[in-house]
Amino acid sequence: MADPQNPTTIDRKARIKIPYEAPPARPAAERVKDFRETFLPLTPERAMREAGRCLQCPMAPCVKACPAGNDIPGALRKIEQGDFLGAAKIYRRTSTMAQICGRVCPHEQLCQCACVRNKNHEPVLCGALEAFVADFERAQNPFHIQPGPSSGKRVAVVGSGPAGLACAEQLILQGHAVTVFESASAAGGMLTYGIPEFKLDQSIVDLLIEDLRHAGVEIRTGAAIGKSHPVDALLRDGYQAVFLGTGASIPTCMQVPGIDLPGVFPPDEFLARLNNDPAILPEGWRQPLTVGSRVAVIGGGDTASDCLRTAVRKGASQVTCLYRRTETEMPGGKKDRLLAAEEGAEYRFQIQPIRFLAGSDGRVSAIECLKCELGDCDAEGRRRPIPVDGSNFIVEADTVVCALGYGANPEIGRTTRGLAIDKNGLFQTDPLTGATSRPGIFAGGDAVSGPDLVVSAMAAGRRAAAAIDRFLHNADT
Ligand SMILES: Cc1cc2nc3c(=O)[nH]c(=O)nc-3n(C[C@H](O)[C@H](O)[C@H](O)COP(=O)(O)OP(=O)(O)OC[C@H]3O[C@@H](n4cnc5c(N)ncnc54)[C@H](O)[C@@H]3O)c2cc1C
């Protein structure tokens, strides 16, 4: 008889016959009415059935495709047997935030893309299963992080996004005292201030932060490190090591006439003012943001899809994405694009905005654009957009979001002597350890890679924590 504990006895033919079922989602017409999550949780029966579709491939391509290296086949074997806590334990070995990654990872580009069953576009739903077991575990017990015996060492973590939180978790497990310094009013980084609730319920982020606090991690919000309190002051204050997880959250600005018109927003302000409690926003963002009826979002990444989907939920009747290239070159994930399109957003391609025009009330009312053709490939292999002279046309819009990407936060690079940064202001580190050019200072996440993913930032935070632990031990010898 096939023993699901032993992959060599797995009856693959029987497993192949278990039919694919699409992940359960709320209908578009229903979900556009609120900000609740798009995907529905799996039931225990459905989770066990879904896990039983895994072929337990010996080479486990899904594991190789996971930036955290989660043992997906191992966890799925446990789920199949109904041992959900056992599966959650397996995720915990490599992941600080399975509840979050199960929701926000672009699984269709990572583990599910690599799944051999994806050849027929019927991958095992690794993401939904990860979220299911992590939710199950959290419901049984909200607190999972057990601090190790005190090492007597103190570490400062700067930034409370996925990189900082994962680093803090791993350090407290080793018994080091951890203080997280966060410049914003609330912890979580982009988990709190970027990713909208229809992708990730904020209560899940709050529970992770609560778990860390409960384990003894001190999280100081409204505590910016930089000019008034530099990294070197942290070292003088008695922290023996510092981790920099400061992200890359400075929006790229369009240099076109009319960019300052009322009604034209950068994506961070647009998303934060529409998704967050005003109490945790900077003072200038606390008044309500009124979304017009015709919203244009410029850009082709995931942030653009999030802005489109937010605008739909705020009642805009015409929500349009304007992108310079074609859909093939779009950097954002297809899943989010399909969801946005299902919810009523329209994507228009090969369009370059060149000017924002004001209406009689002084607010933006239209965008002058040029059509684009595609030229040769750029350094990243994407074909260059070439605006066509004389192809000018107008797109009417009373709210515009320029979602063109994000750059590094410059404060720490500017205020820390001897810290190597690249031409984009990103920290230069050893990729295996996160060690920077300054002994005792480590970095990871978007602040090193540039804008990337939650899972990569988390994995970088964990790698750096392991290196910090070694650094602290070596300091003793
Ligand atoms: C709108 C949006 C949607 C996204 N959606 C997804 C998604 O669906 N899936 C996915 O995988 N990824 C998504 N991402 C990307 C993901 O959120 C980031 O890659 C990830 O959060 C990076 O983590 P981090 O810890 O490096 O940085 P961040 O999450 O940016 O956290 C950095 C933290 O450092 C703080 N900080 C900065 N400077 C200082 C300082 N000097 N002193 C103290 N604190 C400081 C910041 O306030 C911030 O809280 C999205 C990003 C955005 C913007």
| Buried-state track 158-173, b at ≥16 Cβ within 10 A, e below 16 | bbbbbbbbbbbbbbbb
Q: What angle do CA 189, 192, 193 make, to 5 degrees?
A: 75
Q: What is the mean pLDDT of the chain?
A: 95
**Residue 326 near residue 349, CB atoms below 8 Å:** yes
- Global confidence as pTM: 0.96
CATH number of 253-404: 3.50.50.60
Q: Report residue 333's pLDDT band, with 50, 70 and 90 as the boundaries.
A: confident
Q: Hey, which bits of 198-277 come out as E strands?
A: 218-220, 241-244, 250-251, 264-265
What's the gap in Å between 179 CA and the centre of ligand 1?
18
**Residue 415 near residue 434, CB atoms below 8 Å:** no
Q: Residue range 38-52: average pLDDT? A: 97
CATH architecture entry for 7-140: Orthogonal Bundle (1.10)
What's the gap in Å between 374 CA and the centre of ligand 1?
32
Instruction: List CB contacts of 41: < 8 A, sequence separation 6 or more.
Output: 24, 131, 132, 135
Nearest CA to ligand 1 atom 26: 445
Q: In Å, how far are 51, 101, 153, 450 from 453, measured between CA atoms?
A: 25, 10, 30, 10
Identity of the residue numbered 383: R
pLDDT tens track for 305-327: 999 999 999 999 999 999 999 99
Nearest CA to ligand 1 atom 39: 246
What's the gap in Å between 271 CA and the centre of ligand 1?
13
CATH superfamily of 154-249+407-476: FAD/NAD(P)-binding domain (3.50.50.60)
Q: Residue range 116-124: average pLDDT? A: 95
**Ligand 1 pocket residues where CB is under 6 Å:** 104-105, 158-164, 181-184, 189-190, 194-195, 199, 224-226, 245-247, 249, 271, 302-303, 306, 409, 411-412, 445-447, 451-455, 457
What's the gap in Å between 401 CA and the centre of ligand 1?
19
Percent of the chain with pLDDT over 70: 98
Residues carrying CATH 3.50.50.60, the chain: 154-249+407-476, 253-404
DSSP 36: S
What's the gap in Å between 202 CA and the centre of ligand 1?
14
Q: Report residue 3's pLDDT band, with 50, 70 and 90 as the boundaries.
A: low
Residues carrying CATH 1.10.1060.10, the chain: 7-140
